[in-house]
Structure 1
């Protein structure tokens, strides 16, 4: 494990699993990125390969058939590519540069997977790739999943503006504000939507609005994001305030080490909360809810295992 912090993350107590299609997922996601010009040069191509989106997708959706797992792997590849574009030359620190980047992406989402009237060649690479993802989701004929996917991506794009504004102003958000917005900046919710689609974890809406299941979903998103924060801390904390350990240290006036320890403690406490919620939710749960809960387990454990192996934060 990389020496990311003077503390450690507790390994989630779930059995690690990996989709057997991982080698195919990895190669096809790179080919997909190349086809949509997301790898404009050797440097960006190398970054995407190091990020290994396919491994994260394979761990998050271990039972999914190839086509559905590929959709998730391509989404994560696209998210990494957009993240790299925002980070390049400090573009993610200027809302005036982020706004024109996300505007065409919003237009894509508002078509709900219906192809644009003009030729694909006229679209920017990120827009064309996103349009392909939305179209593939639409073809699966699960409108509820499509609506969840596009709505959560809308929230993600708006959250990028929030981050850019904070960076421009040199502002460190309050802990409560950060925790709320991190669920969106991490793009976990659109990833959950495609994972549920891939793993057939699509319960009726009356189950999805159950307060216990809604809280379980939120806690799972927090765990995924906070695990990422802890593993990425060593690489990113000097240049970006958007990290749970950083905002805790800033708000409390503690040292960086104390902020890391508190962030790790919050992760452990939230993991215990997740386990309690899971036990409650699974009482007399229908099969679709059971599959959704299993998908959250895979995401929590998969994020941890992928983070241990990933070169993205080294």
Structure 2
């Protein structure tokens, strides 16, 4: 009998679709990552390929313009590489070592991808995807900073300054939350449930991903709508569901490899003194109840706001379905078939 049966999760009741250009974008995004210096020849390329960034983006944005699908996929690729550096290469357990990289990446965000005072090699004159110079990479952030600057410049070129500022703010929160994770790992600390739920909304990289998804759908909510309490609550719940789904599918791998404390199952087991199998069932119940709550909140939002929120809701529905479908197929967390991380049903960063 399986201890961690993902069939306990309710399937999101939304249409499952996939962009026709997904495979093409997958190839292009891998070349972008190589050109930016994010990956080289060997394990890093294979690791990023197995992450399925384009598969997730193609399911989240099944009808987006290809250029915007590429932008979202490249963001996912960047998040996956950052995730691997923290989780698999050890930097995410050493806050003192991670801090200089985070500071350098925050500098890129503060400049919105613009050039440093030292030179124009990071300026907007470089075509998207073109390889970076040695000087660009010779910083604490290295290729991650070069690629992040490229992403920011491409968003800037969309002439949506409000959306760019939101993206930069969300990526800043993501980076600072990585330091929180690193401090917990260094001290072997399992966070409390309320603390974990709040911080997981930032460590997952879902919020900046949703921002670029809104861009791909073509009609992101305006500033007034963005602060509507009903919309904010639905957005938070969407992020929670994506992250909890990710936690459930990735739990076996995280438990078997590094016993990472940043998983809903681990936190529930520690807080309530439950065994891991029982905690997994409770976490699955959280996801199922949250999905039912999402449907109720969505109906109330439509009644309250009318048809103007339809593109926003379509993007979130697609995200919930895409996360579930991607998790069932991706081999990023390859393990035993039929369990979280398995090869039949299978990131910390969901992005």
- The verdict on a shared fold, with TM-score over 0.5 as the criterion, is yes
CA distance in 1, matches of 2:3, 2:162: 39
The answer to whether the Cα contact below 8 Å between 1:29 and 1:74 also exists between their aligned partners in 2 is yes
Alpha-carbon distance, 1:274 to partner: 0.5
Q: 1:182-261 to 2 correspondence within 5 Å?
A: 182-238=200-256, 239=258, 240-261=260-281
2:29 aligned with 1:29: yes
Provide the secondary structure at the position in 2 that maps to 1:85: helix
CA distance in 1, matches of 2:216, 2:60: 10
> Please, which runs of 5 or more residues in structure 2 have no aligned partner?
123-132, 137-141, 335-351
**TM-score, structure 1 length as denominator?**
0.96
CA distance in 1, matches of 2:12, 2:20: 22
The answer to whether the Cα contact below 8 Å between 2:3 and 2:277 also exists between their aligned partners in 1 is no
**TM-score, structure 2 length as denominator?**
0.86
> Please, which runs of 5 or more residues in structure 1 have no aligned partner?
none
CA distance in 2, matches of 1:166, 1:154: 19
Provide the secondary structure at the position in 2 that maps to 1:282: helix
Q: Flag as ranges the 4+ runs of structure 1 deviating above 4 A.
A: none
Higher helix share: 1
Q: Deviations 1:52-99 (Å, cap 9, x if unpaired)?
A: 100000111112100001000000000001111112442210101110
Alpha-carbon distance, 1:286 to partner: 5.2
Query: Which is further off, 106-115 or 49-58?
Result: 106-115
Query: Which is further off, 26-35 or 16-25?
Result: 16-25
* Partner residue, 1:300: 320
Provide the secondary structure at the position in 1 that maps to 2:90: helix
* Partner residue, 1:155: 173
Alpha-carbon distance, 1:288 to partner: 4.6
Q: How many residues align?
A: 312
* Partner residue, 2:14: 14
CA distance in 2, matches of 1:141, 1:115: 18
CA distance in 2, matches of 1:228, 1:88: 17
Provide the secondary structure at the position in 1 that maps to 2:288: helix
2:278 aligned with 1:279: no
Alignment RMSD = 1.4
Provide the secondary structure at the position in 1 that maps to 2:75: helix
The answer to whether the Cα contact below 8 Å between 1:4 and 1:230 also exists between their aligned partners in 2 is no
